[in-house]
């Protein structure tokens, strides 16, 4: 399919675009009609090229009025720059989201090119469902700690003098722990938003990844887990990495807590150096594996998506999605598989290099 005809002036490959792309020249004749536009409309690209754009795309509003008669891009006000995205109908009733941009050689001049973008409403519906699920998840996760905080604070305010100092301390510790849960949830939501928008900020400095791993393991042991629950296998002479220490801690905490909460037996953390290859640069790998039931083969591809949960033990289901976003923002990779003991095995690799090289 030669849908690139006439698109050389755009200096792009139209078929690489995920959305439908239709371009018309100053006379309103189609010069570009990409593969996604063909899929959405059922139109053959070769037959679309050279025809009037309003014939190739006979778009209508939901009330039956013709979109072209209302917009009139070539004879409308010369100050217009395009049309915002809106729902329109193709012949047969298929609903698509359409936006248009008017390209002029000078402000107020005639339209030289009309660039139309189309996408399936299914994409918007998936986004809306995802956002609705996010809101429901957040509401559910916030309800429990906030109910606890409200209950304990109301009780202490109402009956302060009836409690001993030890009872007050226990209630305040519970409130403090629940406040930490709320703070962590808010942090997760902000991270998801930044990952989705490509605005996750990485503040690099020299990080000793082996020290970070030992620090997180010690923290979990100090929180009450038995030292025998963890096994460390760290190679000698591992180089430092230029990475964001807070974000790396977040990755390690998510993976370790995931192994402890959803896995079983010993949690093994391995670190080794990955040599440079034909398709990869040198890096340091961290592998976290457990001896639990593992992840079903059919669910492996869902692990790093939003809201995936390995069990019914609660949580937002955002942790592994955030892990993937942070690792990839560092230029690394993360994978999931099955450990030798049958449990889950997560492995991420961060590239080794100087700040200038990694920027």
Give the tens place of pLDDT for each residue, 69-80: 888 899 888 888
Q: Are 204 and 244 in contact (CB under 8 A)?
A: yes
Query: What whole-number distance in Å separates Cα of residue 132 and Cα of residue 170?
Result: 36
Most confident of 31-40, 128-137, 310-319: 31-40
Q: Which pLDDT score is estimated for 245?
A: 94
| Sequence-ordered alpha helix ranges (H) in 225-316 | 245-262
Which residues does 38 contact at the CB level (< 8 Å), separation at least 6?
1, 3, 44, 45, 48
Comparing 352 with 288, the larger pLDDT belongs to 288
Q: Which pLDDT score is estimated for 232?
A: 96
Q: Which pLDDT score is estimated for 357?
A: 43
Lowest mean pLDDT among 105-114, 123-132, 263-272, 308-317: 308-317
Which residues does 1 contact at the CB level (< 8 Å), separation at least 6?
15, 35, 38, 45, 46
Which residues does 159 contact at the CB level (< 8 Å), separation at least 6?
none
The 10s digit of each residue's pLDDT in 271-293 is 999 887 655 668 899 999 999 88
Of the pLDDT bands very low, low, confident and very high (cuts 50, 70, 90), residue 298 is confident
Pairing state between β 30-33 and 20-24: antiparallel
Query: What whole-number distance in Å separates Cα of residue 224 and Cα of residue 239?
Result: 31
How many CB atoms are located within 10 Å of the residue 156 CB?
A: 16
Comparing 358 with 80, the larger pLDDT belongs to 80
Q: Are 124 and 97 in contact (CB under 8 A)?
A: yes
**φ, ψ for residue 77, nearest 5 deg:** -60, 130
DSSP 3-state of 334: strand
Q: Which two tokens stand for residue 207?
A: 């990080």
Of the pLDDT bands very low, low, confident and very high (cuts 50, 70, 90), residue 4 is very low
Of the pLDDT bands very low, low, confident and very high (cuts 50, 70, 90), residue 157 is very high
The 10s digit of each residue's pLDDT in 52-61 is 999 999 999 9
The chain-wide mean pLDDT, for the chain, equals: 85
Q: How far is CA 344 from the centre of its chain?
A: 22
Of the pLDDT bands very low, low, confident and very high (cuts 50, 70, 90), residue 315 is low
Pairing state between β 283-289 and 267-274: antiparallel
Pairing state between β 95-104 and 283-289: unpaired
Q: Which two tokens stand for residue 8?
A: 């050389």
Q: Which pLDDT score is estimated for 354?
A: 54
Q: Which pLDDT score is estimated for 7?
A: 40
Query: What whole-number distance in Å separates Cα of residue 277 and Cα of residue 148?
Result: 53
Of the pLDDT bands very low, low, confident and very high (cuts 50, 70, 90), residue 1 is very low
DSSP 3-state of 294: coil
Residue 215 has pLDDT above 60, yes or no: yes
Give how far Cα 144 sits from Cα of 18, 96, 149, 154, 186, Å: 41, 41, 9, 15, 14
Lowest mean pLDDT among 66-70, 198-202, 225-229: 198-202
| Sequence-ordered alpha helix ranges (H) in the chain | 35-41, 45-48, 53-56, 67-71, 121-159, 165-197, 209-222, 245-262, 319-329, 355-358
Question: H-helix or E-strand containing 310?
Answer: none
Q: Which pLDDT score is estimated for 217?
A: 96
């Amino acid at each position: 399919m030669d849908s690139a005809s006439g698109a050389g002036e755009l200096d792009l490959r139209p078929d690489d675009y995920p959305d439908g792309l239709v371009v018309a020249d100053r006379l309103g004749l189609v010069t570009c009609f990409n593969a996604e536009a063909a899929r959405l409309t059922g139109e053959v690209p070769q037959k679309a090229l050279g025809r009037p754009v309003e014939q190739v795309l006979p778009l209508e509003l939901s009330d039956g009025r013709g979109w072209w008669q209302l917009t009139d891009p070539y004879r409308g006000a010369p100050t217009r720059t395009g049309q915002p995205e809106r729902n329109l109908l193709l012949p047969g009733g298929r609903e698509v989201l359409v936006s248009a941009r008017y390209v002029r050689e000078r402000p107020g001049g005639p339209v030289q090119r009309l660039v139309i973008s189309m996408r399936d409403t299914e994409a918007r519906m998936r986004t809306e469902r995802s956002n609705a699920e996010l809101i429901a998840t957040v509401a559910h996760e916030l309800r429990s700690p906030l109910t606890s905080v409200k209950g304990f604070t109301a009780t202490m305010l109402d009956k302060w003098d009836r409690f001993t100092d030890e009872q007050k301390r226990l209630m305040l510790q519970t409130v403090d722990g629940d406040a930490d849960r709320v703070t962590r949830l808010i942090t997760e939501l902000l991270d998801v938003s930044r990952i989705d928008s490509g605005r996750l900020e990485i503040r690099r400095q020299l990080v000793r990844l082996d020290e970070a791993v030992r620090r997180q393991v010690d923290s979990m042991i100090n929180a009450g887990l038995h030292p025998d629950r963890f096994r460390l296998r760290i190679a000698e002479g591992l180089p430092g990495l230029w990475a964001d220490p807070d974000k790396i801690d977040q990755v390690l905490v998510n993976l370790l807590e995931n192994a402890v909460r959803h896995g079983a037996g010993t949690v093994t953390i391995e670190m080794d150096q990955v040599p440079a290859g034909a398709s990869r640069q040198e890096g340091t790998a961290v592998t976290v594996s457990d001896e639990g039931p593992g992840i079903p083969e059919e669910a492996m591809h869902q692990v790093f998506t939003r809201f995936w949960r390995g069990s019914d033990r609660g949580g937002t289901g955002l942790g592994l999605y955030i892990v993937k976003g942070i690792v990839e923002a560092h230029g690394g990779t993360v994978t999931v598989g099955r450990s030798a003991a049958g449990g889950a095995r997560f492995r991420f690799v961060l590239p080794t290099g100087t700040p200038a090289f990694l920027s």
